[in-house]
A = this chain, B = another copy of it.
Amino acid sequence: MNTVELIARKRDGGELDEAELEWLVGGYLAAVARADDRPVVSEGQMAALLMAGVLRGFTDAEARALTRVLVRSGDTLDLSVLPGPTIDKHSTGGVGDATTLLVAPLLASAGAQLVKLSGRGLGHTGGTLDKLESVPGLRTELSGEEILRIVGDVGCVVAAQSDRLVPGDRAIYALRDLTATVASAALIASSVMSKKLAGGADTIVLDVKAGDGAFMPTVEAADALARLCVSIGVDAGRRCSALVTDMDQPLGRAAGNALEIREVVEALSAPPAGRLAGLALDLAAQALALARDRDVEVVRADLHQGWTSGDALDRLRRMILAQGGDPAVCDRPADVLPSAPVVRSVEAPGDGTISVVPARAVGEIAAALGAGRQRKGDPIDPTVGVVVHVEVGDLVRAGQPIATVHARSEGDADAAAKRLAAAVQIGTEPVPPRSTVLRRVGTVRDTGASCARAEDPSAA
């Protein structure tokens, strides 16, 4: 094959087949590994191909083929030793989105096994590994044997993705990030789904974010991405569904690593309430109903029972212990978690109704405080971040605290408080509350009939 001719074909709007994509990905991986002088596919050639694909579009067939190529580029996890059902969950990334740390123990409490291989945060979005590592002692770099032992014992485990899993995706994602070629549904779908397929779970549930704080700004774009991901999963023989959810405002109240762990523990210590808890229950119920061919309402009742009985919190405690963390975080989070030296309250400047809590701005303010990283490999501070006490539609009075800033210094706190006060909008008109779930793709209906099967991947 001739690399330049393949790039030229994509540049001119043509299609690449699976063998050609395998040549390109394999050649690029070899180039990354060897730093060859005349590589078969150089960094520049892969970047040109990616940009041509972003501007000319990749077909769904190319996205499916690329996913298979990426899966084959490395090891896969074999979960067949587990009794099952094995479930995986993925979010496309948002602000105040700690759902994984609720969904994992909830599914474990219902008897399923969730193995979640996760990434770190970048830019304004948080990463599950970063959040979890704010628990003193906790390790996320686990071997394959440790992962299987912990999920077998506890029912859930959240670990760092090994370098040997989908190395093709790792290499290409790093290049996309540097070359302004992230924004392609086919590239995002193949990246997400290759990781999920390599992760080995039978059932995959996706949370595709839409809005200001998401990669997909519109519901339509998020819906198209969700459909493509679900079709790739079903094509690979997995049970797969997706929710398209709102990321115009942060999902939870906290944005910051230890702050989000505290929110998770506090949520599991009380009856489910609020947007974060609601979405976690919805995602867990969809996954479980799909995995077990059961009514959503029936499994939702089981999950609710696991939550209120304290079993879900206990699963989280046992998972944290098994991963080397201090389990007392589930009882006394404020004592166990590290905290920031400066805490500053932000008050409403006047009476009114909250009209905008911009997710991206809140995420960026938290990241600027030190909770996130601008570039891969940057250090982060687990203690800092923002807690927003209000959501869109809430009535507030002048002087009422609407947010709390946790910062390393008075200067940082001042700057963050100023930015938050400017970002959160208060209007005089009433604002109807928004629903969190905007679309459902391939989900199991509440009527009891399950409908997400290979025959009908896009049933809603």
Contacts and interface: CB of A to CB of B under 8 A. Distances in A.
Interface in A32-55: 42-48, 50-52, 54-55
Interface string A1-17: 00111011001000000
A11 B42 contact: no
A179 B55 contact: no
B180 A8 contact: yes
B45 A7 contact: no
A46 B42 CA distance: 12
Contacts of A177: 4
A268 to B, nearest CB: 39
A178 interface: yes
A3 B181 CA distance: 13
Nearest to A46: B44
A204 to B, nearest CB: 30
Tallying the copies of this chain within the complex gives 2
A177 B55 CA distance: 20
A395 interface: no
Contacts of A7: 51, 179-180
B50 A179 contact: no
Contacts of A5: 180
A340 interface: no
A189 B258 CA distance: 56
B45 A42 contact: no
A175 interface: yes
Contact of A11 (B8, B11, B55, B175): B55
A332 interface: no
A186 to B, nearest CB: 16
A56 interface: yes
A185 to B, nearest CB: 15
A180 B4 contact: yes
